[in-house]
């Protein structure tokens, strides 16, 4: 069940991002770089490690527009890639040869930088800052010691001014339109395994300060077997101000049929921070996607990544792949939309948006 939010009341904190004039821009605004990490943990990926590295490489090539012959393509963002040791750096260097990449020797537990790296914000004057939240392994389910300190390590590597926010939060839990509106789920942000001592109003106030948002829309539950407790970036995404992409079940055995129907119903009654009713763009769900053990995986087409040149959409070998890529492409006509396999990465718990974190370009306020 959704909760339509009233305008947020941020904390009276002039040292916060909002108090200093910062807001998180929309993902379609210009990036300086994208932060990500090379899959290298054989104990976590096991037999899927090689396939995950192949999918990671394809993602990076698509982000860079390496296969796009267009001379009018916008400037490519730098690939800021974390590696754990010499062997990983050698492997990643060979795989990403010819791409604009810089490697960082920073320890990490796994590759989900959307949740473990900083969230980047930009001021009205165009300055970029890193906003560092606390991280507890998605409600203490997957605790890797390096990930608990990763946001600050990446911030240090970026050399940017930073803000520390005293709450548990993951970047995949929220989606912003860059014009004051954000959307999330109660399953994640009101889960007692994150911030049990904080009320809904307190969570809203902290996020208003940290992200520079004016209105937070609330959905209910996320996809079946989503390890993150319902991250919104597997459910819905803004495709421009006032425009929302959401999935619908096309198959009778879709395990998320009821959840997706409830999301669409809730969205139909929502308005953004500027009072606009949301325009819904519907695309198919991947349907039933299982791992080798027959367990349902939380497959989602809206877990795409928007780069300066491309929109990279995860695909899963579903009969709906091509249609989903085409619908997403129609929403981003200025970019080349590419469908790339993410089935191996999904086996680790997410897809392309989950393993990337964009850093906006300085001084490019409002650029699409």
132, 246, 340, 354: which one is catalytic? 354
Residues 181, 217 contacting (CB under 8 angstroms): yes
CA 327 from chain centre, in angstroms, equals 19
Helix axes 49-64, 86-95, angle to 10 degrees: 50
In terms of C-beta density within 10 A (0-12 exposed, 13-18 middle, 19 or more buried), how is residue 332 classed? Answer: middle
Q: Give the torsion through C-alpha atoms of 278, 279, 282, 288, to 10 deg.
A: -10
Residues 299, 290 contacting (CB under 8 angstroms): no
Report the chain's C-alpha Rg in angstroms: 19
Q: Please say if 354 is a catalytic residue.
A: yes
Query: Taking the chain, what is the end-to-end CA distance rounded to the nearest angstrom?
Result: 33
Using the 8-state DSSP alphabet, how is residue 126 labeled? S
Catalytic residues: 354
């Amino acid at each position: 069940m959704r909760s339509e939010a009233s305008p947020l009341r941020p904390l009276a904190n002039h040292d916060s991002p909002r108090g200093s004039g910062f807001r998180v821009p929309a993902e379609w605004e210009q990036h300086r770089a994208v932060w990500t990490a090379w899959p290298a943990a054989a104990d976590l990926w096991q037999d899927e490690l090689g396939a995950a590295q192949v999918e990671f490489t394809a993602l990076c090539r698509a982000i860079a527009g390496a296969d796009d012959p267009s001379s009018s393509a916008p400037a490519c963002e730098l690939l800021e890639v974390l590696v754990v040791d010499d062997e990983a750096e050698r492997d990643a260097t060979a795989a990403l040869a010819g791409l604009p990449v810089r490697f960082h020797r920073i320890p990490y537990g796994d590759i989900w930088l959307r949740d473990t790296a900083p969230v980047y914000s930009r001021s009205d004057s165009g300055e970029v800052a890193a906003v560092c939240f606390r991280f507890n392994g998605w409600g203490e389910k997957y605790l890797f010691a390096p990930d608990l300190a990763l946001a600050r390590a990446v911030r240090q590597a970026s050399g940017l001014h930073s803000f520390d926010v005293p709450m548990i939060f993951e970047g995949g839990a929220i989606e912003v339109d860059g014009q004051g509106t954000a959307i999330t789920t109660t399953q994640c942000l009101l889960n007692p395994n994150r911030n049990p001592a904080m009320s809904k109003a307190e969570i809203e106030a902290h996020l208003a300060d940290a992200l520079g948002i004016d209105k937070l829309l609330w959905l209910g539950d996320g996809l079946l077997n989503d390890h993150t407790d319902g991250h919104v970036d597997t459910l819905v995404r803004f495709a421009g101000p006032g425009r929302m992409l959401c999935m619908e079940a096309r198959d009778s055995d879709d395990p998320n049929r009821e959840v997706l129907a409830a999301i669409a119903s809730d969205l139909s009654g929502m308005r953004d921070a500027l009072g606009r009713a949301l325009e819904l763009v519907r695309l198919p769900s991947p349907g039933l996607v299982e791992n080798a053990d027959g367990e349902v995986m939380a497959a989602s087409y809206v877990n795409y990544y928007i780069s300066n040149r491309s929109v990279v959409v995860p695909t899963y070998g579903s009969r709906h792949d091509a249609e989903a890529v085409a619908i997403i492409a129609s929403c981003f006509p200025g970019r080349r939309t590419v469908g790339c396999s993410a089935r191996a990465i999904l086996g680790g718990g997410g897809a392309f948006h989950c393993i990337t974190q964009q850093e906006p370009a300085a001084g490019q306020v409002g650029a699409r």
